[in-house]
Amino acid sequence: MFYLICYDIVDDNRRNRVAKLLERYGMRVQKSVFEVVLDETQYEQLQKRLLKLLNKRQDQLRFYPLSAHCRQKVKVLGIQPEFAVDDSVIIA
């Protein structure tokens, strides 16, 4: 499943740790917005790991699941990404 993950985190250190974790799962598309593709196990694992980093009284994280149909309707204005989070990559 494709997810758009957004966050609002007050503390710089917590925000940096969350960003580094999310970079391991997907692609940063804006400063506090990531696109990730996760199966159910990865989704649960990522949520658990993120909860350990958050201050539940100050921070907020949102997961927006997007269907393939909805993804086709996404419009990007300005700088276009060179690739999508679920593109195939060959490492030589």
Say if 52 falls within a structural domain.
yes
Say if 38 falls within a structural domain.
yes
pLDDT at 91 over 50: no
Contact 35, 2 (CB under 8 A): yes
What is the Cα–Cα distance from 73 to 77, expressed in whole angstroms?
13
**So what's the pLDDT on residue 72?**
87
Say if 79 falls within a structural domain.
no
**So what's the pLDDT on residue 92?**
47
Say if 91 falls within a structural domain.
no
Report the CATH number that the domain containing residue 19 is assigned in CATH.
3.30.70.240
Say if 9 falls within a structural domain.
yes
The H or E element spanning position 72 is: helix 68-72
What is the Cα–Cα distance from 22 to 46, expressed in whole angstroms?
8
Contact 42, 86 (CB under 8 A): no
Residue 16 DSSP symbol: H
Say if 60 falls within a structural domain.
yes
Q: By residue range, what is the domain housing residue 8?
A: 2-72
Average pLDDT of the chain is 90
* pTM for the model: 0.84
pLDDT digits (tens, 9 = 90+) for 1-54: 999 999 999 999 999 999 999 999 999 999 999 999 999 999 999 999 999 999
Say if 82 falls within a structural domain.
no
Q: What percent of the chain has pLDDT over 70?
A: 89
